[in-house]
A and B are shown apart, each in its own frame.
Chain A
Amino acid sequence: MDSDVTAPPADGPDIRLDRVVKRFGETVAVDGLTVDIERGAFYALLGPSGCGKTTTLRMIGGFEDPTEGTVFLGGRNVTDLPPYKRDVNTVFQSYALFPHLDVQHNVAFGLERRKVGKNDVKKRVAEVLEMTQLTGYEKRKPAQMSGGQQQRVALARALVNRPKALLLDEPLGALDLRLRKQLQIELKRIQKEVGITFVHVTHDQEEAMTMADRIAVMNEGHIEQAGSATELYETPATEFVASFLGDCNLIDGDLRSRDGVVADFRTHDGAHLRVPSERIDPALNGSPVRVGVRPEKLTLLPADVPAPDGANVLRGRIEIASFLGTAIQYVVHTAGGEEFTAIEQNRLGGGVHSLGPGRDVLLAWDPAHSILVAKGGTHAGA
């Protein structure tokens, strides 16, 4: 074991991965990942398929051995321990219920392995079944239950052991939208109730934003950025994060001048865009950047109206205007050749009013809403 690996203090993070690498043959699934997950957090690992999020979760659970690096659970090095010696439990995407056992025995499985007394097992199973709204289903076999019910059994089977942390591998992936929404809220409620750390793997950014206190956006085996949903959405650090969480309009820009408050960028078609200086990550250090803005932060103005003072302005022509009910979505072709999306709340009524396709417009936004990211998908050294 590396001598410079230091165990975190006992009251420190619940889960720590220290420079963890996982290779499958030639493929690098997880590439030098370091992450601390606080006790009691609802932590989401979010990313597209193949980004290494499930492999990361499986290394915490003990189902994959890291090629390099160390895994700590509650301050203890568990890198070489098998799953049955780790104080975490997993909810699998396929639920992985024992088909030959009924709900009662599925849920009691973990307690029986720990030699918990018969009466205690009964009591704890009854408690957890009530919490997951499964009372009355004790004698059912998994095959006799719906997907949503099976999901609850999987959750109850893990929670009944009162683990240090619960690992959830896309637990809602196989359910339909309505049930998914309902279980998202329920999972959040249960997490608050039991107060243990939840690590949730998902590719659904909305699900991550609904449930998690902290989200780590993963791409190609490393974490692009970790933070609250608000931080990730309003101040994404990389182009990947900006476009993975919601829509984002981005345009190449060169830094022209900066002072303590505002930095001035010039786009390739000559427009000046202002960005708060604090958004400029020192790590960017001269590398090419893109300036951006979220669609809902844009205001569309007819081209002949003077632009508001101090706003960032781009010229363009409307290509498509779609009426969405609560909002109108515009696709605008900018003078520099980019395609921008703008969303205006439908406050005036009447759908696509004066600004139809073909109109020349100004795209204006408050510089404080500007996003600044490194050009290209990945953020080196994150």
Chain B
Amino acid sequence: MSTATVESQVRGGRRRFAVGARTWDSIRSKALGLWAALALLYLFIPIFIVILFSFNDNKGRFNLTWESFTFKHWEHPFSVSGLSSAFANTLEIAAISTAIAVALGTFMALALVRYGFRGRSATNLFVFLPLATPEVVLGAALLALFLTINVATGYLTIVIAHVMFNVSYVVVTIRARLEGMDTHIEEAAMDLGANEWTTFRKVTLPMIAPGVAAAALLAFALSIDDFVITNFNAGETITFPLFIYGAARQGIPAEVNVLATMILLVAVIGMIVNLILQRRKASSERPVVLAPAGAPING
């Protein structure tokens, strides 16, 4: 057999195989796209319904069937009695409990990562406990505690409860950031004349700042969201989730949809801003080692 024949056969064989593979690839990628679209649809339909029904001109108390399009709920979203105070309570409690949890959690994470002390591993375990315990157990246990020590449930106990579960999330988030940090960097700061506090302010904090920000966002979202633990410890105080739960029996006003859409919008805008900042940061920190000294850096 001549080399030419062998070559052409091999080439022909490859071509047939290549065509088959390409068809299969295209089917596969289309199927994957369809599957992904279905999954996204499943995720987004409920959110879409919430937004859509904020524009529904509903008849009667219930906002469950589509009637016609209106802006009237968006004109006075805080007009429903009790809703605006519940919403304000939720935002306030979220802000306060986030601030306290981040302040406590940051230093707890520092202590757990940087210092060896008696009971460190036990503390590590206890910090994880609120994440693993069912909320209903935590809520009930807290209520039992408040009853035992004679603290009336209300605004203050909600804040205490939220700080409690948020601290765990904050510690876990910031601890992960700290563990990836070279301890020599803090030693270098002290070597250059910075005492412990200056080292924390000028070096440690800027380096863990992304972790602190992530922890704060997480804590804020969890606090806004929480129903179960809050429900046990709320007393007379009404938060946004509690209001919706209470309203569900007699018909949820469309204004709830409006506020929910607002929260969603704020979150989406925050995500977009974050994405833009990350992109800009990535392009300005791109290694440009080969450029000559003094050359301008792109971005």
A161 touches B289 (CB 8 A): no
Say yes or no: is B156 at the interface (Cβ < 8 Å to chain A). Answer: no
A157 contacts across to B, CB distance below 8 A: 188, 192
Contact of A84 with B195 at beta-carbon distance under 8 Å, contacts A90-B188, A145-B289 already known:
yes
Bound together, the chains give a CA A94 to CA B198 distance in angstroms of 22
A351 to B243 Cα, complex, angstroms: 95
Contact B289 A90 (CB under 8 A): no
Q: Which B159-206 residues sit within 8 Å CB-CB of chain A? A: 182, 184-185, 187-195, 198, 202-203, 206
Among the 9-residue stretches B53-61, B122-130, B141-149, B280-288, the one with 4 or more Cβ atoms under 8 Å from chain A is B280-288
Q: Does A137 lie within 8 Å of B293, measured CB to CB?
A: yes
CB–CB A161/B193 < 8 A: yes
**Which residue of chain B has the shortest Cβ distance to A138 in the bound complex?**
B294
Give A25-81 interface residues, CB cut-off 8 Å to B.
Answer: 61-63
* Interface presence of B297 (CB below 8 A): yes
Interchain CB contact under 8 A, B195 and A82: yes
A377 within 8 A of partner (CB)? no
From 70 to 96 in chain B, residues with beta carbon under 8 angstroms from any chain A beta carbon are none
- Which of A84, A114, A134 is within 8 Å of B191, CB to CB? A84
CB distance from B193 to the nearest CB of A (A): 4
Q: Which residues of chain B are near A189, meaning CB under 8 Å?
A: none
A373–B188 CA distance with the chains assembled, in angstroms: 41
Q: Which chain A positions have C-beta within 8 A of B287?
A: 143-145
The count of chain B contact residues (Cβ–Cβ below 8 Å) is 26
Q: Is B207 an interface residue (CB 8 A)?
A: yes
Q: Which residues of chain A come closer than 8 Å to B297, judged between CB atoms?
A: 139-140, 144
- Known interface pairs A92-B184, A98-B185; A84-B193 also in contact (CB < 8 Å): yes
| Contact in complex: B188, A98 (CB < 8 Å) | yes
Check B198 against A113 for contact (C-beta < 8 Å).
Answer: yes
Residues of A contacting B202 with CB < 8 Å? Answer: 109
A135 sits at the interface (CB 8 A)? yes
Query: Is A13 in the interface zone, CB < 8 Å from B?
Result: no
Measured between beta carbons, the chain A residues less than 8 angstroms from B294 are 135-137
A146 cross-chain contacts in B, Cβ below 8 A: 289
User: In the bound complex, how far is the Cα of B207 from the Cα of A141, in angstroms?
Assistant: 14
- Give the Cβ gap from A161 to chain B, nearest Cβ, in Å: 7
Inter-chain contact B289/A144, CB cutoff 8 Å: yes
Write out, one digit per residue, whether chain B residues 269-299 have a CB within 8 A of any chain A CB (1) or not (0). Answer: 0000000000000000111110011100100
Shortest A56–chain B CB gap in Å is 16
- Check: A219 CB closer than 8 A to any chain B CB: no
Q: Name which residue of chain A comes closest to B291, CB basis.
A: A144
7 shortest A-B CB distances, which residue pairs?
A: A136-B294, A136-B293, A113-B193, A110-B192, A96-B184, A96-B188, A83-B190
Question: Interface residues, chain B, CB within 8 Å of chain A?
Answer: 182, 184-185, 187-195, 198, 202-203, 206-207, 285-289, 292-294, 297
* 14 A-B pairs with C-beta separation under 8 A: A63-B191, A83-B190, A84-B192, A90-B187, A92-B187, A93-B184, A96-B185, A98-B185, A109-B189, A114-B193, A135-B294, A136-B293, A157-B188, A158-B192
